[in-house]
Amino acid sequence: MARILITSALPYINGVKHLGNLAGSMLPADVYARFNRAAGHEVLFICATDEHGTPAELAAIEAGQTVAEYCAEQHDIQKRVGQGFSLSFDWFGRSSNRPNRDLTQHFADVLEDKGLIDERTSKQVYSVDDKRFLPDRYVEGTCPNCGYEKARGDQCDNCGTLLDPIDLKNPYSSVSGSRNVEIRDTRHLYLLQSKMQDKVRAFVDARAKDWPNLTTSIAYKWLDEGLIDRSITRDLSWGVPVTRNGSPRPGFENKVFYVWFDAPIEYIGSTVEWAEATGANWERWWRTDKGADDVTYVEFMGKDNVAFHTVSFPVTILGSEESWKLVDKLKAFNWLNWYGGKFSTSQKRGVFMDQALELLPGDYWRWYLIANSPESSDTAFTWEGFKAGINSDLNDVLGNFVNRITKYAAAKFDGKVPGGGEPGEHEAWMADELAARLPQLIAHYEAMEFRKAAAETRAIWAAGNEYITKSAPWTAYKSSVDQAAVGIRTGLNLVSLFGIIAQPIIPETAKKILDALNIPEANRSFPLEKPDKSGYPALLNALPAGMPIQVPPQLFTKIEDAQVAEWTTRFGGG
RNA sequence: GGUGGGAUAGCUCAGCCGGUUAGAGCGCAGGACUCAUAAUCCUGAGGUCCCCGGUUCGAUUCCGGGUCCCACUACCA
């Protein structure tokens, strides 16, 4: 039994996430966690809200709340929405909680002890009326290159030129619109990443063979350009206070650590929260000197996050020279687009997680988003594709199969697994299908190829329909009840198996199926033992004869054209 | 601008470390069946593999150039 630590990229606190965020980290991480649990491994699945930074402060102001109130409320909302999608986090923490604060301050202390932190002075735009320093992108003005009047301080959206906010003509604060802005000196801590270049490269070299192309190419790009010392503090009030050996750091009383420094540390912090709440031991997951040396650590994230996880966070971990667990496998995703364009909060383009749950149960979305996972390139969400996938895969192939078999068993065999008869050529064909397909399904999950895992799952369900067409127990029943019994017995075993392999992707539906067949919890694990060909027929004859079964409630409802039309109007698709 | 990723059937995507007829699902057309949620099963039609060159006996695949889309570019997270 392996021990697997799984983290999903932390959703930012600033509002409910859209389907793209779900599809690009939290959902595939959950599917992987569920697969590994069903495979009998010891899994710890950790996530949290990432709560610090300027956007959280501004959103709180807009909402008329303190930042603490705002974050607490948003955290609860995101947690509840996550539960609606059956995200099976062992803990869903908060980066603003004490464990992350303590760990972040600890890492800063250790890194400074190792000579990896300096104080430096830099210049930054200060908005007098907003009473705050402004990140580059919150300063707007006229582009010196093209004259566009709403260029951001980091980049002009009109001509694409990279800018420094100091270069903008007629600069103003995008927070308030005030033109009362000035350049001020400010003092910050810098993490000397340049000194860690060789160690990080050695780390990436050692892991590269286990990482997909998307991951390694991004990591090497940063390394080849050379790591740059970066500031890890900010002039904000909401965040982890800057301390030195437990006391406020002189000159930094009104500063906090930069959100990107503390956010990945929250993977550990959230685990500490979990341990404190449950009495578990967190160090055996994170400290290689305290039992974590046999842990495989797997991270899930969108492609925009890869550099921070392959380079920046390893700088923190490696620089500490302490025995922390480093990432082993890193699964990165491209974007889920909305009809070929981007999901957009400001333009209200696309569906957000809470809205999705108002329309349909979580399993519907889980299936579509995994079957269309943006693994190798950006992928477009369309209502038409969503409707087709749900109606065909879930309703027709799986739902109808479960229904036709269980109803027939209820009607003709008294709601029991029928005994009698002997398996023949059709059952042998089905066993061969399983012998070919189940190992592939498992291989896809182990390789974290989720789109292929969904396709293989569907193919196995479809093979069940093909089998029952070949064996045609309703025809056999007229001449031989025993022969019909073989078909329905095999069919019921397939229903059970289909429920088991459905667990990672559509867990709520899988539970309905397995509960209806009275399958004990202990018998719901993935068929991992990879028997030789002669072993697969046993999978088709596992349920004891005479065992009572129920017809489950209708598992899915079809999506109608009228609904697609309504949703397209409401959410701006097309 | 730089770096990286992508472009394959009407749609969403596999695949090709060079090699007979380029695949899947959906959609579409025809047929079969009737246990089942008008579901299922079988068959079929549909492609200048973005463009231009090069290497090669042979290129969708490798190389160069171009076009378009996307990400990152270190102070959004």
A222-231, A235-244, A284-293, A557-566: least confidently modelled range? A222-231
Predicted confidence band at A175 (pLDDT cuts at 50, 70, 90)? Answer: confident
For the segment 160-179 of chain A, residues whose CB is within 7 A of strand B: 160, 162
Residue A44: per-residue pLDDT: 98
Residues 96-125/A with CB < 7 A to strand B: 122, 124
What are the Cα distances from residue A137, in Å, to A133, A167, A425? 12, 13, 68
List the A380 CA – B61 C1' distance (angstroms). Answer: 25
| pLDDT, position A162 | 72
Strand B proximal to A127 Cβ, under 7 A: no
pLDDT single digits (tens) A91-144:
999 999 999 999 999 999 999 999 999 999 988 889 999 888 888 888 888 888
Lowest mean pLDDT among A50-64, A131-145, A201-215, A474-488: A201-215
pTM: 0.95
Centre a 10 Å sphere on the Cβ of residue A76 and count the other Cβ atoms it contains.
Answer: 11
Distance CA A533, CA A535 (A): 5
Mean pLDDT check: name the lowest of A159-163, A278-282, A481-485, A529-533. Answer: A529-533
pLDDT, position A324: 96
A137 touches strand B (CB under 7 A): yes
- Strongest mean pLDDT among A3-12, A208-217, A383-392: A3-12
Distance CA(A522)–CA(A205), nearest Å, equals 41
Could you tell me if A336 and A342 are in contact, meaning their C-beta atoms sit under 8 angstroms apart? no
User: Residue A413: its pLDDT value, please?
Assistant: 96
Residues 6 or more apart from A57 whose CB is under 8 A from it? Answer: A67, A236, A237, A238
Helices (H), A321-449: 353-359, 362-371, 383-389, 400-412, 425-446
A59 CA → B45 C1’, Å: 55
Cα A132 to Cα A415: distance, rounded to the nearest angstrom? 70
pLDDT (mean) for A387-397: 94
pLDDT, mean of residues A364-380: 88
Residue A395 CB in 7 A reach of strand B: yes
CA-to-C1' span, A404 to B33 (A): 14
Q: Quickly give A210 CA vs B58 C1' distance in Å.
A: 35
Average pLDDT in chain A: 90
Strands A3-8 and A295-302: parallel
- Over range A289-306, report the average pLDDT: 91
pLDDT computed for residue A330 by the predictor: 87
What percent of chain A has pLDDT above 90? 63
Report pLDDT digits (tens) over A397-446: 999 999 999 999 999 999 999 998 999 999 999 999 998 899 889 989 99
Read off φ and ψ for residue A428, nearest 5 degrees.
-65, -40
> Phi-psi region for residue A201, left (φ > 0), alpha (ψ -120 to 50) or beta?
alpha
A59 pLDDT higher than 80: yes
- Least confident among A64-78, A238-252, A325-339: A325-339
What is the tens place of the pLDDT at every residue in A188-198?
999 999 999 99
Q: Which residues of A512-548 are buried (b: 16+ CB within 10 A; e: fewer)?
A: bbbebbebeeeeeebbeeeeeeeebbebbbebeeeee
pLDDT band, residue A321 (cuts 50/70/90): very high
Predicted confidence at residue A574, as pLDDT, reads: 47
Nucleotide showing the shortest C1' distance to residue A473 CA: B35
- Quick one: pLDDT at residue A148? 79
Mark out the alpha helices in A97-156 (DSSP H runs): 98-113
